[in-house]
């Protein structure tokens, strides 16, 4: 039976750096589960760590989610703005005896930790049993949660299954710091409750926090949300994803020429599956995605797979959009395309996209279109321009001059020229290609001539012919 309460998920990043693909996948799973259930997907920026939170990181999160196409429902919440509310929740816990002021000095804290370790349980403060009373203030103090000393806390995690924590191993965690600032575990519980979050889907590095948070929920008499702790993304070698595995930030994937829909598809499939389906639309992902199908084992980033998914979406992408995106790659490389060149690129895109795995590859493959004459011919292709090949190309040029300038006609003209000459295409193609592209990649010859246009093609052939001694 389905839960009658509408599903509310949230993505709760700390704005301390760029949006990583691990975070993007967490956001995606939250987004997809909300879509799957007809619920809401909320965004909360956890900016309580004032020293490490930056506006640039907030912007990077917004931009990253926007690029990924993961639009949150409703207003974005900023955790720091809820500080007074968080303190109010702590007052509630103090009033019910589920929190206490702790005046331990740093030395005392060390000693208490030592003792707790010797006694075989997590940290408790002696102040727990000597509550000085409402309103008393004996100087700097923190406020700690009075957790149960024995028994167990069970988390029925939707991905990890049942996870049991012995309460003696859960310390009396700090709720408010000496400066009155709420801690993560307190703020997260208060916010998730207030935002009506029903499903907390996040990285499994937070699994231990789930037990602490569950105890706070219980102490407040609040309904516990469902938890789903998803495995982190690992590198192809199985080690935790890090700089040495290459790109990590969503923006880097964009810069490497991946399409957002490809990254969505790839990341959704990373650690989650629907039968053998590798490629699916956003609608299918939303229809199929269920947390219970998320794997427990770590997911490994597989560049080949990502490239093949991206190639699929490049093929499927609208030509005009791709033209604009590839033009952006040229601009980012410092060679913005003037209108005439943009038009030439637009004509080439339907053919180039059949073979490119990334937008950068498409730009590389379009490079031959924009060379300035006389073009540089690399050493190896230049070797094709033997006197014999040059003479033949001069005769071919005469044939091409009268050909209809469209790929099939040009292809046919080359073929019939080869027949007339009594040679195979292998004697004609390589020198012609050298003259036309200088060795850069290009589609088949008829298409290459067509895309370059009559004037440019004949001009490049003439330039090559003029290299004859
Ligand atoms: N702000 C936490 C983080 O970025 C996530 C907290 C949560 O999802 O509960 O790791």
pLDDT (tens digit, 9 = 90+) per residue, 139-165?
899 999 999 999 999 999 999 999 999
Q: Tell me if 124 sits within 8 A of 104, measured CB to CB.
A: no
Tokens of 389: 């090949």
Going by alpha carbons, the residue nearest to atom 7 of ligand 1 is 12
Report the separation in Å between the CA atom of 116 and the middle of ligand 1, taken as the mean of its atom positions. Answer: 28
pLDDT digit string, tens, across residues 43-94: 999 999 999 999 999 999 999 999 999 999 999 999 999 999 999 999 999 9
**Distance of alpha carbon 113 from its chain centroid, rounded?**
40
For 428-450, b/e burial (b = at least 16 CB within 10 A) is bebbbbbbbbbbbbbbebbbbbb
Question: Which residue, 247, 349, 259, 364, is CA-closest to 308?
Answer: 259
Q: Whose CA is nearest to atom 6 of ligand 1?
A: 12
**Residue 129 pLDDT > 90, yes or no?**
no
Tell me, what's the pLDDT at 244?
A: 85
The pLDDT of residue 272: 95
* pLDDT score at 171: 94
At residue 243 the predicted structure's pLDDT band, cuts being 50, 70 and 90, is: confident
CA distance 104 to 125: 8
Average pLDDT, the chain: 95
Looking from the CA of residue 188, the nearest atom of ligand 1 is 9
- Checking if the pLDDT of 3 tops 60, the result is no
Q: Provide mean pLDDT across the span 276-284.
A: 96
209 CA: nearest ligand 1 atom = 9
406 CA from centroid of ligand 1 (Å): 58
Would you place residue 468 in the very low, low, confident or very high pLDDT band (cuts 50, 70, 90)? confident
pLDDT of residue 195: 98
Q: Which fold has domain 90-176?
A: 3.90.800
Write down the pLDDT at residue 298: 87
Q: How far is the CA of 263 from the centre of ligand 1 (A)?
A: 22
Looking at residues 18-30, what average pLDDT do you find?
96
The architecture that CATH gives domain 371-469 is: Orthogonal Bundle (1.10)
- How far, in Å, is the centroid of ligand 1 from the Cα of 204? 10
pLDDT at 207 over 60: yes
172-82-55 Cα angle (round to 5): 105
Q: Residue 170 contacts by C-beta under 8 Å, 6 or more apart in sequence?
A: 122, 147, 153, 211, 212, 215
What tokens appear for 341 in the block? 């060149």
- In the predicted model, what is the mean pLDDT of residues 360-389? 97
Does 12 sit in the ligand 1 pocket, CB within 6 Å? yes
Could you tell me the CA-to-CA distances from 171 to 250, 252, 409 in Å, in that order? 36, 40, 80
**198, 209, 254, 349, 399 from 222: Cα distances, Å:** 12, 17, 41, 57, 84
CA atoms within 13 A on the CB side of 36: 18
For 82, phi then psi, to 5°, come to -95, 15
Q: Is 188 in the pocket of ligand 1 (CB under 6 A)?
A: yes
**Residue 135: is its pLDDT beyond 70?**
no
In this structure, what is the dihedral angle of CA atoms 292, 298, 302, 307, given to the nearest 10 degrees? 30
46 lines ligand 1 (CB under 6 A): yes
pLDDT, mean of residues 224-236: 95
pLDDT of residue 209: 97
Q: Looking at residue 130, what is its pLDDT?
A: 79
* 35, 71, 115, 243: the active-site residue: 243
Given a cut of 70, whether residue 131 has pLDDT beyond it is: no
**Biggest CA pair distance of the chain:** 106
> What pLDDT does 362 receive?
98
CB distance 47 to ligand 1 below 6 Å: no
Mutate to test the pocket of ligand 1, among 17, 46, 78, 182 (most ligand atoms within 8 A of CB): 46
Contact 146, 124 (CB under 8 A): no
Cβ atoms within 10 Å of 79's Cβ, excluding its own: 23
Distances from the Cα of 412 to the Cα of 158, 408, 417, 437, angstroms: 62, 6, 8, 20
Is the pLDDT reported for residue 133 higher than 80?
no
In the reported structure, the alpha carbon of residue 188 is separated from the centroid of ligand 1 by a whole-number distance in angstroms of: 8
For 155, residues 6+ apart whose C-beta sits below 8 A from its C-beta are: 162, 163, 164, 165, 207, 210, 211, 214, 227
Q: Does residue 14's CB lie within 6 angstroms of at least one atom of ligand 1?
A: yes
Is 427 noted as a catalytic residue in this protein?
A: no
Whole-number pLDDT of residue 392: 98
Distance 6 CA to ligand 1 centre (A): 22
438 touches 364 (CB < 8 A): no
Q: Specify the pTM.
A: 0.92
pLDDT digits (tens, 9 = 90+) for 431-443: 999 999 999 999 9
pLDDT of 5 reads 84
Q: What is the mean pLDDT of residues 213-229?
A: 98
Which architecture does CATH list for 1-74+231-301? 3-Layer(aba) Sandwich (3.40)
Which of 63, 80, 73 has the alpha carbon at shortest distance from 24? 63
Which residues, 6 or more positions from 110, have their beta carbon under 8 angstroms from its beta carbon?
A: none
Pocket flag, ligand 1, residue 15 (CB < 6 Å): no
Question: Ligand 1 pocket, 13 CB below 6 A?
Answer: yes
Of 3-12, 160-169, 366-375, 417-426, least confident by mean pLDDT is 3-12
Taking residues 368-386, what's their average pLDDT? 96
Task: Report whether 33 contacts 199 (CB < 8 A).
Answer: yes
pLDDT on residue 138: 78
Give the confidence band of 246 by pLDDT, cuts at 50, 70, 90: confident
447 lines ligand 1 (CB under 6 A): no
The domain segmentation of the chain, as residue ranges, is 1-74+231-301, 90-176, 317-370, 371-469
pLDDT tens for each residue of 319-328 = 999 999 999 9
- Does residue 468 or residue 357 have the better pLDDT? 357
Residue 78 to residues 63, 134, 172, Cα–Cα distance (Å): 16, 31, 27
């Amino acid at each position: 039976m389905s839960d009658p309460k509408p599903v509310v998920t949230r993505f709760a990043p700390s704005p301390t750096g760029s949006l990583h693909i691990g975070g993007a996948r967490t956001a995606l799973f939250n987004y997809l589960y909300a879509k799957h259930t007809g619920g809401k997907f909320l965004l909360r920026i956890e900016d309580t760590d004032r020293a490490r939170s930056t506006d640039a990181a907030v912007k990077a999160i917004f931009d990253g989610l926007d690029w990924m196409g993961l639009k949150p429902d409703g207003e974005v919440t900023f955790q720091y703005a809820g500080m007074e509310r968080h303190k109010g929740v702590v007052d509630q816990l103090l009033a019910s005896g589920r929190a206490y002021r702790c005046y331990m000095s740093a030395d005392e804290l060390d000693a208490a930790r030592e003792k707790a370790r010797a006694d075989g349980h997590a940290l408790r403060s002696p102040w727990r049993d000597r509550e000085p009373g409402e309103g008393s203030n004996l100087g700097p103090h923190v406020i700690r949660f009075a957790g149960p000393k024995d028994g167990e806390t069970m988390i029925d995690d939707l991905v990890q299954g049942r996870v049991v924590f012995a309460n003696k191993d859960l310390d009396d965690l700090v709720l408010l710091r000496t400066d009155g600032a709420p801690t993560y575990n307190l703020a997260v519980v208060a916010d998730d409750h207030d935002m009506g979050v029903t499903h907390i889907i996040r990285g499994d590095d937070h699994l231990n926090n789930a037990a602490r948070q569950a105890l706070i929920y219980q102490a407040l008499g609040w309904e516990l949300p469902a938890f789903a702790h998803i495995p982190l993304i690992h590198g192809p070698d199985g080690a935790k994803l890090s700089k040495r595995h290459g790109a990590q930030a969503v923006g880097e994937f964009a810069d490497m020429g991946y399409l957002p829909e490809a990254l969505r598809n790839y990341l959704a499939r990373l650690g989650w599956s629907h039968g053998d389906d590798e490629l699916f639309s956003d609608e299918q992902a939303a229809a199929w995605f269920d947390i219970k199908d998320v794997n427990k084992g770590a997911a490994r980033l597989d560049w080949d797979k990502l490239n093949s998914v991206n190639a699929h979406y490049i093929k499927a992408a609208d030509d005009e959009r791709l033209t604009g995106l590839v033009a952006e790659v040229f601009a980012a490389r410092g060679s913005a395309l003037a209108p005439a060149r943009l038009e030439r690129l637009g004509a080439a895109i339907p053919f180039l996209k059949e073979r490119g795995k990334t937008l950068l590859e498409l730009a590389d493959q379009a490079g031959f279109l924009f060379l300035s004459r006389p073009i540089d011919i690399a050493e190896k292709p230049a070797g094709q321009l033997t006197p014999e090949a040059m003479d033949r190309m001069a005769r071919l040029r005469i044939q091409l001059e009268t050909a209809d300038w469209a790929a099939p006609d040009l292809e046919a003209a080359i073929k019939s020229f080869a027949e007339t000459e009594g040679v195979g295409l292998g004697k004609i193609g390589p020198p012609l290609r050298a003259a036309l592209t200088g060795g850069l990649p290009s589609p088949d010859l008829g298409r290459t001539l067509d895309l370059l246009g009559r004037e440019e093609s004949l001009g490049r052939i003439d330039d090559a012919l003029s290299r004859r001694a």
